[in-house]
Homo-oligomer: A and B are copies of this chain.
Amino acid sequence: MPGAAQQQEAATAAGTDFARFERYVLDLQDRILSEAEAIDGSGKRFLRDRWSRGSESAGYGITAVLEGGDLLEKAAANISIIHGELSAQRAQAMSSRGRADIDPKGGQPYSAAAMSLVFHSAHPLVPTLRADVRLFQVAGSAWFGGGCDLTPSYLFEEDARDFHAHWRRVCERYGEGVYPEFKAWCDRYFYIPCRKEHRGIGGLFFDDVASGEAGYDAEAFVREVGDNILPSWTAIAARRRALPYSGAQRQWQLLRRGRYLEFNLLYDRGVKFGLDGGRVESIMVSAPPLIAWKYGVEAAEGSEEARLVEVLRAPREWA
């Protein structure tokens, strides 16, 4: 296992300062936790659970979770900093994506830094927010990934338009094609084949973004994505939590959360990667706090519930 100093050297050589991005995700998590506590308003605080991978030089993380808030029924914002050696399986996957500098046999040292977030709302009209930003370094190269997407239980077209317009504005500073590409990637990624439904109304999703290849400063872009996670959601949350809701709407929310978990456990690459030797509680913290499954649930024709399902079956262009 290579030490932190050796990793740091490789990282700086790659043109991206790993330690700088590590400081960024630590700071981002701090800011998100404070702001989320203020938005929640219950006075509850995030539990901050710091863990390490045996030794600090192999990596560490801070899992932060708030449960039973007024708005935030369960919210998590985690960072993880990993220094390790590529497994053959992961190296092959990266190599097959066209990464010529990856040895498909594995064994190369790598470093990863990530902040990932999910907010499950107590209020059925407030959409679930999911986001992450991440840096992966190996063999003198650095790639960024990340995204931010919305999973509502009820469709408010105004919310969908605002959310996507927000992300279009962020992306357009980096090029005309950035938003359409990452919006489409998000629709493709968050798809539940067995349900023939997308998980939510999308947003951004991207991986393997490197400064030289992208035509823009990838780190600057990803930091801007990170900084814009909460601003893309807070106004939407504020206006929806002010509305009254029924027990039937809450029940529909619990049923929709079932799809969220089905996606995570059946299809999410990050979950599968993380559970393979990762820290199970830091991964499963993304699970909704309470979920219902009933047999053969179908939204009544013409209902608000059917309006949501329709847009999950056929994603729209919102911005």
Determine if A266 is an interface residue (Cβ-Cβ < 8 Å).
Answer: yes
Q: Do A292 and B294 contact each other (CB < 8 Å), given the known contacts A265-B266, A280-B195?
A: no
A275-B194 in contact (CB<8A): yes
A296-B275 in contact (CB<8A): no
Q: Could you tell me the distance between the alpha carbons of A261 and B262 in the complex, rounded to whole angstroms? A: 9
Within 8 A of B (CB), among A274-319: 275, 280-281, 284-285, 287-296
A289-B292 in contact (CB<8A): yes
By beta carbon, the residue of chain B nearest A64 is B295
Q: Could you tell me the distance between the alpha carbons of A254 and B67 in the complex, rounded to whole angstroms? A: 16
Q: Do A65 and B280 contact each other (CB < 8 Å), given the known contacts A258-B287, A265-B262?
A: no
Q: Do A296 and B49 contact each other (CB < 8 Å), given the known contacts A195-B280, A275-B194?
A: yes
Determine if A47 is an interface residue (Cβ-Cβ < 8 Å).
Answer: yes
CB distance from A283 to the nearest CB of B (A): 8
Determine if A80 is an interface residue (Cβ-Cβ < 8 Å).
Answer: no
Q: Could you tell me the distance between the alpha carbons of A307 and B147 in the complex, rounded to whole angstroms? A: 42
Task: Give the residue of B49, B195, B280 whose beta carbon is less than 8 angstroms from that of A194.
Answer: B280
Q: A67 to chain B: which residues have CB within 8 Å?
A: 294-295
Number of interface residues of A (CB under 8 A): 30
Number of copies of this protein chain within its complex: 2
Q: Could you tell me the distance between the alpha carbons of A292 and B49 in the complex, rounded to whole angstroms? A: 20
Determine if A142 is an interface residue (Cβ-Cβ < 8 Å).
Answer: no
Task: Give the residue of B254, B262, B280, B289 whose beta carbon is less than 8 angstroms from that of A294.
Answer: B289
B281-A285 in contact (CB<8A): no
Determine if A63 is an interface residue (Cβ-Cβ < 8 Å).
Answer: yes
Within 8 A of B (CB), among A76-118: 76
B262-A284 in contact (CB<8A): yes
Q: Which 7 A-B residue pairs are closest in the complex by CB-CB distance?
A: A265-B265, A287-B293, A194-B275, A65-B295, A194-B280, A291-B291, A285-B295
Q: A76 to chain B: which residues have CB within 8 Å?
A: 295
A295-B275 in contact (CB<8A): no
The 21 listed contacts between A and B (C-beta, < 8 Å) are: A47-B295, A49-B295, A49-B296, A65-B296, A67-B294, A67-B295, A74-B295, A76-B295, A254-B290, A258-B284, A258-B287, A261-B261, A262-B265, A262-B284, A265-B266, A281-B295, A284-B293, A288-B293, A289-B292, A289-B294, A291-B291
Q: Could you tell me the distance between the alpha carbons of A285 and B49 in the complex, rounded to whole angstroms? A: 35
Contact with B along A23-64 (1 / 0, CB 8 A): 000000000000000000000000101000000000000010
Q: A280 to chain B: which residues have CB within 8 Å?
A: 194-195
Q: A262 to chain B: which residues have CB within 8 Å?
A: 265, 284
